[in-house]
A and B are shown apart, each in its own frame.
Chain A
Amino acid sequence: DAGVIQSPRHEVTEMGQEVTLRCKPISGHDYLFWYRQTMMRGLELLIYFNNNVPIDDSGMPEDRFSAKMPNASFSTLKIQPSEPRDSAVYFCASSLQRGGQETQYFGPGTRLLVL
């Protein structure tokens, strides 16, 4: 298996522009997670899906952020409009089950810089 695939790997955009991050989870995994990592706040869970349904989006910072999972093999995280404080590394992860003993498999991340 190729693992979790994310695109793009790097994104540089200007404030106010729309940004769309993409993720392909590992086939057969029922859970998909979106995280944001910054030096100041560490690794934060933004939202997670179970069988394509959003379960908990309490970590989404504000209405400018939205996430979708139209099918089992694809998810997007969209920021509109983007702001400089959104600059971070965004990770997608997937797992078979959810819980403290489950292995989450992370993608390589998307490094976002908003100017």
Chain B
Amino acid sequence: TQLLEQSPQFLSIQEGENLTVYCNSSSVFSSLQWYRQEPGEGPVLLVTVVTGGEVKKLKRLTFQFGDARKDSSLHITAAQPGDTGLYLCAGVPGNQFYFGTGTSLTVIP
């Protein structure tokens, strides 16, 4: 059983479409992070959300932390091929750092 479940696991969309990926847990997190991993590279931090209900925007990416701090979502507007990659949520529910199961996104030109 994974502490952080992400959905969908795989997503293939056309350039210009919008999408949302989800990160869910039964545990409460003091903060959650989102990383993006491009093929052949290590994950790179996109954002950290700290407060329940917090919304952060990074250009076309919008991140939201659930009110109960058990879940988060990532919305991408007008996806571009450069958004292709593996999106990972991560957090520390106690004393251990966990990564989510990941969402593999492919944006087709």
Residues of A within 8 A of B (CB): 4, 33, 35, 42-45, 56, 58, 91, 93, 98-101, 103-104, 106-109
Contacts and interface: CB of A to CB of B under 8 A. Distances in A.
A101 B50 contact: yes
Contacts of B43: 43, 91, 104, 106
A32 B54 CA distance: 29
A99 B2 CA distance: 20
Contact of B40 (A35, A99, A108): A108
Nearest to B42: A106
Given A42-B101, A109-B42, 16 more contacts: A35-B99, A42-B2, A42-B99, A42-B100, A43-B88, A45-B96, A91-B42, A91-B43, A100-B29, A100-B30, A100-B48, A106-B41, A106-B43, A108-B40, A108-B42, A109-B41
Interface in B25-74: 29-33, 40-45, 48, 50
A33 B48 CA distance: 19
A4 B90 CA distance: 20
Interface of B: 2, 29-33, 40-45, 48, 50, 88, 90-92, 95-102
Contacts of A100: 29-33, 48, 90-92, 97
Given A43-B102, A45-B97, A104 B45 contact: yes
A107 B2 contact: no
B42 A4 contact: yes
A91 B44 CA distance: 12
Contacts of B99: 35, 42-45
Contacts of B96: 45, 56, 58
